[in-house]
Amino acid sequence: MKAKLFLASSIALLTIIICACKKNSSNTDTSTVTNIGANVPDVYKKIYGATDIYIEGDFVVIKAKNLPDHKSPYYQGTQWASTKYEAYNGTNPNWQQNPNTIAENDATYKIPLHPAVAASHASTPLGAMGVAINGIAIFNQYAAMRAPLTNEINGFDQYGGHPQLSGVYHYHAEPFYLTSTKGKDALIGFLLDGFPVYGPTENSKTITNADLDVYHGHTTATADYPNGIYHYHITSADPYINGNGFYGTPGTISQ
Ligand SMILES: [Zn+2]
Ligand SMILES: [Zn+2]
């Protein structure tokens, strides 16, 4: 009888401990589980930082919380700081942390399932113009008022991103965590027009702006599209990811 009671109370105690741990981890954990809908082509499954990916008509819908899966100085003072804060350890001697901190921002990207060249090329918006495979927003080559990024660059953390005023973390240039974990030639994300973005190398060659058209892309076969596709490349020089607007017709982003 005593042993039974002990067992019952042990189980109760264990349950409380497990629940407490679970609760705690959901507060500090930035990882996401991706729910993938029917008929989603494999290439979109590389977007591991989304919460949901599904097909809606001629669009791929990607939902993300926009919390970087890598560390950042900008996690300082947030609920994720205990696991995700890391002081700046990059190489920019002019590094200066901006006053913003990372916040969760639910975003829904709706991108064309069959991207196609547009008759007139829309300019990219301020705010997200695409999404990286870790679910983080990709911004264009401009700061507010379409000013160059000259000063903003000094606020990029060691992984190449920073948060804006409302805490939306984003990359304007190479996301170093992704190119180091996935490879310099890997698929990095998609712009809103549905065309993919690749890292700064291709067939072991570093791509420069001179290799690309005015929209910052070109058409070749890639590992994900062996029959060839138009794609953007990240380069180390301005404009970094996109040039003079979208090559194709952009979908939408809502936050
Ligand atoms: Zn920015
Ligand atoms: Zn290429």
Q: Which ligand is nearest to the CA of 224?
A: 2
pLDDT in tens, 183-221: 999 999 999 999 999 999 999 999 999 999 999 999 999
Helices (H), 47-93: 81-84
Q: What is the 140 CA–ligand 1 centroid distance (Å)?
A: 8
How far away, in angstroms, is 203 Cα from ligand 1 center? 30
Q: How confident is the model at residue 23 (pLDDT cuts 50, 70, 90)?
A: very low
Neighbours of 168 (CB within 10 A): 21
The Å distance, Cα 186 to ligand 1 centre, comes to 23
CB 64 within 8 A of CB 49: yes
- 221 class by beta-carbon count within 10 Å (0-12 exposed, 13-18 middle, 19+ buried): exposed
Q: Tell me what percent of the residues of the chain surpass a pLDDT of 70.
A: 89
What's the CA dihedral at 124, 126, 130, 135 to 10 degrees?
180
The closest of 135, 141, 136, 137 to 123, measured between CA atoms, is 141
In the prediction, which pLDDT does 249 show? 98
DSSP summary character for residue 127 = S
**74-78, long-range: CB < 8 A, 24+ apart:** 74/98, 74/100, 74/101, 74/102, 74/157, 74/162, 74/163, 74/169, 75/101, 75/102, 76/101, 77/101, 78/102, 78/103
pLDDT digits (tens, 9 = 90+) for 142-174: 998 888 999 899 999 999 999 999 999 999 999
Domain boundaries, the chain: 1-30, 31-254
CA 198 to ligand 2 centroid distance, Å: 7
Q: Mean pLDDT score of the chain, rounded to an integer?
A: 91
Q: Which of 188, 191, 194 is nearest to 176 (CA)?
A: 188
Q: Which ligand sits closest to the CA of 212?
A: 2
Sign of the four-CA dihedral 250, 251, 253, 254? positive
Q: How far apart are the C-alpha atoms of 255 and 239, rounded to whole Å?
A: 25
The CA-to-CA distance between both ends of the chain, in Å, stands at 58
CA of 249 to the centre of ligand 2 (A): 20
Return d(Cα 157, Cα 87) in angstroms, integer. Answer: 9
Q: Tens digits of per-residue pLDDT, 122-140? A: 999 999 999 999 999 999 9
pLDDT of residue 3: 52
For residue 172, which ligand has an atom nearest its CA? 1
The span from the CA of 231 to the CA of 196, in Å, is: 5
State the pLDDT at residue 8. 53
Q: How confident is the model at residue 15 (pLDDT cuts 50, 70, 90)?
A: very low
**Token reading at 123:** 């300019």
Residue 64 has pLDDT above 50, yes or no: yes
Residue 97 pLDDT greater than 70, yes or no: yes
Number of H helices, E strands in the chain: 3, 15
Residue 177: CB atoms within 10 Å: 22
- C-alpha 187 to ligand 2 mean position (Å): 10
